[in-house]
């Protein structure tokens, strides 16, 4: 022990305003533990102080013992109260009646409290505790009941609280359940039990006792099957019995347990159990059991209010009785009883609580489309927060190289790769291990959508969101085409670009406007606004690479590390759960993240995307074509029209073409060149400087966005004129991709396709 640290601590105690005096002469520190008593004042009401006691039994001056371990200040000091201090309080650590009680100074670790605020802070907490105890305010929240503290007990019973508290019910006041246990013998007198009740009910038949076996795992650990007994007080008349007083938490043997059970009206059922155990002890296979078998006793005590932090008014008290089978010793009044902490089994609610998710919010149905590296990470990150997806869709097998960048790890060190392991079922299993249910659909997403039954099921189970992480143009196309048609849920898309330097995360608008295709076109426009992002996401160097996976085979994939994918997945999962909490945005939304050059951080920015204007293009092609015009572009056109109220006006459409679904996206305009001519009946697009502007603008997105047609206005409500059709033909005959002529009229927009292949499709012959 450091004498200087001890001296400092004693001075801090002396400086507390409620410190009165040391009860004895302060000795010099030696090698071992150091303990001192001191008088500590409690600010009582005058009448209580005069009578020497508060109604709850606290004195105006209490004797407090402070104990410093021999390794102080590595460990926190301990404060204890006089041995006869009343025990009928919450926030008091359990202990035998003859032991000095230890108040619970903080909800959590006292060591952490000490590290944070030192001895003075601990003493301030003690002062709060004693003041609250004197005024009977340790449980003064009228809405809740403070449960008995079990912070420092060795034994844990891992349960599903709703299951064990549902039993026994009605007239039955006990239930016997099978349980499994593990015991770790640390030293001769120090052991830890871990017990877990199972769903299976058992009868205490001779066969049951004979079936108790113990497995030894090495020298120190054993485990096996045992008994879980659940008791509940019988109802008093028509009403359930409510234990509305704190009783001393001092159970340590069968005698003191019986006193507690007597208070809770359960002692008869317990005596019956004891009798059965002792009668059947001889039936156990004592030669096969080396250590005592722990039996867990759970007592469901109904309280007048819900327990703090829960909605249940039932406090489940857990005790462990050790059955000495080998020696054949019956349980007697002096047999030790161990306190156990009731620990919640892993569940969605527990995971939600630890991730600050609202447990009263039901998890909305969502589906992961694509269970690859990004999709698996988003799905497991959400599952660890208790918000697992309902459906997992991916047709691929989990190949050896996938483990390099996947949320899942190989199952068996000796046989790391199960043959024919599909990604979706593997992820389903992982989520099931987190006690949540997701259903795997190991099939291409397009196939699932084509099946009306599957489609209906998808819309029902994942009615909140479909999250597409396939990075597949085909899947994006299908979603863009069918989202509205099949009334699919709204869609989010997550993807990485440019070796993971850029992250793309987007959510479609209500009624799929903007849809996935429109959002990606808009994102391409946004990439182009920042040269660094454009270079990372759109340049030739940013494209896929091939990495060798075996002899003469490789995988075309993005050269990106697992850590970078995890960075993006964490951000996307965070956004996903934020949307889950707060609701999807009113319009579409795009988030773009750019990784710093040192790879350690990602800067995200978000951009709302208003609904696109969709104009069916007039064409002879039997496949329809649609022009998708960004809202900002529509606003620009209308502003230009207002600026030229007496003449036609126009300009150049800027965007990209998706021929696979017959879509031309317009995300910006180029101004009409200065030599353009505007009259009341026509608009002639000039050429002066236009080529240079086109080249410059196209270079900003590394060629991904380009001219996709022209627009002009009509002063009267009319469709394409013969002159317009001629212009369309001229544009079409110039070759290249499909273009559009967009016409503003007082009655709305009309459009004409300009595509030579649509006018006269000719298939070149070999």
Q: How many CB atoms lie within 10 A of CB 723?
A: 12
Asked whether position 215 contacts another protein by CB under 8 A, the answer is no
CA 392 vs CA 399, 429, 444: distances in Å = 18, 11, 11
Residue 135 binds to another protein (criterion: CB under 8 A): yes
Q: Which of 43, 635, 638, 691 binds another protein (CB under 8 A)?
A: 43
Among 26, 50, 529, 734, binds another protein (CB under 8 A): 50
705 close to 524: Cβ distance less than 8 angstroms: yes
Which residue among 57, 86, 90, 120 contacts another protein (CB under 8 A)? 120
In the complex with another protein, the residue whose CB is nearer, 19 or 403, is 19
Whose CA is closest to 193, among 201, 202, 181? 181
The verdict on 356 binding another protein (CB under 8 A) reads no
Residue 75 contacts another protein per CB under 8 A = no
Helix (H/G/I), strand (E/B), else coil: 434: coil
- Distance (Å, whole) CA 213 – CA 178: 13
- Among positions 12, 83, 242, 308, the unique one binding another protein when judged by CB under 8 A: 12
Q: Does 117 bind another protein (CB under 8 A)?
A: yes
Nearest CA-CA partner of 384 in 353, 425, 418? 353
Binding mask 97-116 for another protein (x = CB under 8 A): ---------------x-xxx
Q: Does 124 bind another protein (CB under 8 A)?
A: yes
Q: What is the dihedral sign for C-alpha 554, 558, 562, 565? A: negative
Nearer to another protein, 125 or 589 (CB): 125
Supply the DSSP string of 472-516, one letter for each residue.
Answer: -HHHHHHHHHHTTTTTPPEEEEEEEETTTTEEEEEE--GGGSS-H
Structure tokens at 516: 């996935």
Which residue number, 2 or 677, has a Cβ lying nearer to another protein?
Answer: 2
Binding of another protein by 17 (CB under 8 A): yes
Q: How many CB atoms lie within 10 A of CB 451?
A: 13
Strands (E), 165-287: 174-187, 190-201, 214-217, 221-231
Beta strands in 203-327 (DSSP E): 214-217, 221-231, 293-302, 314-323
Using the rule CB under 8 A, is 262 a contact of another protein? no
> Which is nearer to another protein, 7 or 456 (by Cβ)?
7
Tell how far CA 138 is from the center of its chain.
33
Q: Decide: 589 and 608 in contact? Cβ < 8 Å.
A: yes
Q: How many CB atoms lie within 10 A of CB 96?
A: 14
Residue 353 found at the interface with another protein (CB under 8 A):
no
**Binding-residue total with another protein (CB under 8 A):** 35
Q: Which listed residue (3, 7, 15, 474) binds another protein by CB under 8 A?
A: 15
> Least distance (Å) from another protein to the CB of residue 594?
28
Which CB, 132 or 331, lies closer to another protein?
132
Selected binder of another protein within 47, 356, 485, 722 (CB under 8 A): 47
| Interface residue with another protein, options 11, 215, 285, 548 (CB under 8 A) | 11
Instruction: Identify the residue among 46, 142, 170, 552 touching another protein (CB under 8 A).
Output: 46
Least distance from another protein to the Cβ atom of residue 368, Å = 28
Q: Output the smallest distance, CB 132 to another protein, in A.
A: 9
Asked if 48 is part of the footprint of another protein (rule: CB under 8 A), the reply reads yes
57 binds another protein (CB under 8 A): no
Residue 453 pairs in a beta bridge with none
Given the rule CB under 8 A, which of 4-12, 267-275, 347-355, 707-715 is the region that contacts another protein?
Answer: 4-12
* CA-to-CA dists, residue 651 to 130, 670, 674, angstroms: 80, 6, 11
Residue 402 three-state SS: helix
Residues that bind another protein (CB under 8 A): 5, 8-9, 11-13, 15-18, 43-50, 60, 73, 112, 114-121, 123-124, 127-128, 131, 135
């Amino acid at each position: 022990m450091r004498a200087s640290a001890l001296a400092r601590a004693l001075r801090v105690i002396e400086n507390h305003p409620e410190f009165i005096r040391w009860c004895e002469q302060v000795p010099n520190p030696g090698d071992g533990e150091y303990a001192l008593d001191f008088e500590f004042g409690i600010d009582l009401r005058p009448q209580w102080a005069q009578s020497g006691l508060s109604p709850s039994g606290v004195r105006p001056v209490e004797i407090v013992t402070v104990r410093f371990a021999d390794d102080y200040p590595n460990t926190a000091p301990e404060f204890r109260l006089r041995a006869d201090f009343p025990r009928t309080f919450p926030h008091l650590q359990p202990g035998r009646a003859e032991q000095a009680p230890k108040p619970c100074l903080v909800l959590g670790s006292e060591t952490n409290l000490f590290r944070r605020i030192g001895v003075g802070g601990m003493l301030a907490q003690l002062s709060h505790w004693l003041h609250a105890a004197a005024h009977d305010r340790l449980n003064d929240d009228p809405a809740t009941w403070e449960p008995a503290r079990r912070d420092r007990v060795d034994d844990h019973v891992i349960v599903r609280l709703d299951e064990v508290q549902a039993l026994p019910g009605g007239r039955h006041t006990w239930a016997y359940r099978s349980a499994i246990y593990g015991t770790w013998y640390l030293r001769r007198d120090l052991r830890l039990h871990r017990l877990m009740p199972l769903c299976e009910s058992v009868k205490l038949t001779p066969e049951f006792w004979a079936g108790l076996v113990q497995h030894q795992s090495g020298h120190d650990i054993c485990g096996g099957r045992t008994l879980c007994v659940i008791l509940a007080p019988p109802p008093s008349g028509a009403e359930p019995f409510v234990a509305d007083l704190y009783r001393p938490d001092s159970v340590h043997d069968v005698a003191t347990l019986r006193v507690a059970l007597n208070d809770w009206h359960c002692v008869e059922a317990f005596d019956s159990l004891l009798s059965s155990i002792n009668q059947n002890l001889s039936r156990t296979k004592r030669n096969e059991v080396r250590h005592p078998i722990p039996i867990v006793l759970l007592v469901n005590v109904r309280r007048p209010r819900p327990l703090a932090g829960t909605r249940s008014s039932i406090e489940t008290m857990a005790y462990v009785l050790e059955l000495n089978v080998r020696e054949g010793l019956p349980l007697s009044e002096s047999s030790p009883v161990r306190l156990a902490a009731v620990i919640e089994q892993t569940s969605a609610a527990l995971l939600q609580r630890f991730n600050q998710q609202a447990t009263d919010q039901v998890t909305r149905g969502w589906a992961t489309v694509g269970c690859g590296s990004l999709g698996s990470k988003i799905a497991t990150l959400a599952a660890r927060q208790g918000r697992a997806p309902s459906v997992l869709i991916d047709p691929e097998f989990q190949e050896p190289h996938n483990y390099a960048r996947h949320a899942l790890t190989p199952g068996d060190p000796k046989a790391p790769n199960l043959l024919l392991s599909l990604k979706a079922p593997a992820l389903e299993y992982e989520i099931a291990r987190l006690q949540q249910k997701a259903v795997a659909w190991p099939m291409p997403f397009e196939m699932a959508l084509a099946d009306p039954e599957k489609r209906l099921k998808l819309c029902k189970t994942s009615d909140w969101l479909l999250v597409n992480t396939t990075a597949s143009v085909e899947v994006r196309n299908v979603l863009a085409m069918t989202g509205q048609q099949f009334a699919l849920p709204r869609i989010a898309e997550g993807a990485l670009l440019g070796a993971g330097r850029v992250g793309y995360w987007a959510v479609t608008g209500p009624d799929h406007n903007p849809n996935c295709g429109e959002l990606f076109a808009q994102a391409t426009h946004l990439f182009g606004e920042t040269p660094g992002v454009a270079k990372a996401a759109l340049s030739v160097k940013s494209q896929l690479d091939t990495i060798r996976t075996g002899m003469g085979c490789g995988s075309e994939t993005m050269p990106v590390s697992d850590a970078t994918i995890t960075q993006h997945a964490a951000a996307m999962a965070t956004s996903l759960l934020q949307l889950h909490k707060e609701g999807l945005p009113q319009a579409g939304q795009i988030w773009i993240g750019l990784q710093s050059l040192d790879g350690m951080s990602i800067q995200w920015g978000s951009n709302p995307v208003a609904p696109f204007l969709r104009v069916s293009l007039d064409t002879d092609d039997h496949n329809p074509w649609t022009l998708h015009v960004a809202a900002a572009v529509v606003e620009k056109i209308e502003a230009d029209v207002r600026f030229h109220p007496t003449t036609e006006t126009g300009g150049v459409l800027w965007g990209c073409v998706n021929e696979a679904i017959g879509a031309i996206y317009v995300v910006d305009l180029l101004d009409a060149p200065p030599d353009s001519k505007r009259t009341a009946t026509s608009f002639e697009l000039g050429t002066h400087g236009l080529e240079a502007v086109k080249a410059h603008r196209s270079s900003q997105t590394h060629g991904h966005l380009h001219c996709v047609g022209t627009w002009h206005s009509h002063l009267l409500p009319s469709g394409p004129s013969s002159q317009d059709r001629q212009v369309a033909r001229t544009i079409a005959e110039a070759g290249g991709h499909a273009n559009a002529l967009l016409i503003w009229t007082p009655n709305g927009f009309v459009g004409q396709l300009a595509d030579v292949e649509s006018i006269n499709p000719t298939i070149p012959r070999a």
